[in-house]
Amino acid sequence: MYHPDKQKSLNNHLVVLLTKRQKGTLPPNLSALSEIGVTLPTDPFSKHALKYRLSGNSATLYSIGPDLISNGGKPEYDPTNGTISPGDITVSVR
């Protein structure tokens, strides 16, 4: 099912992957993207920066989702539940 916030997350995922391809490694944090001229949009729910978690050779880029609670990037969000769904909207990057 198409969800516009998931599409934004996928676009951001592509930015991180392209950065990995260009630099040879995942960015250590989102501010590293600004050093190469990339600006990610804000989280549509919190109106703050998207969240990013790097763990070894993978990273998770995520929005806190409509419940406005960060779950540390756990992909529990279900768009079929609309605004009542808990969990984050996530995209994993490897």
Query: What is the tens place of the pLDDT at every residue in 23-39?
Result: 778 888 888 877 777 77
Instruction: Phi first, then psi: give them for residue 26, nearest 5 degrees.
Output: -70, 145
pLDDT tier at 2 (50, 70, 90 boundaries)?
very low
Measure the CA–CA gap between 14 and 65, rounded to whole angstroms. Answer: 20
pTM above 0.75, yes or no: no
Q: Is the pLDDT of residue 3 over 60?
A: no
Question: Domain segments of the chain: what residues?
Answer: 4-93
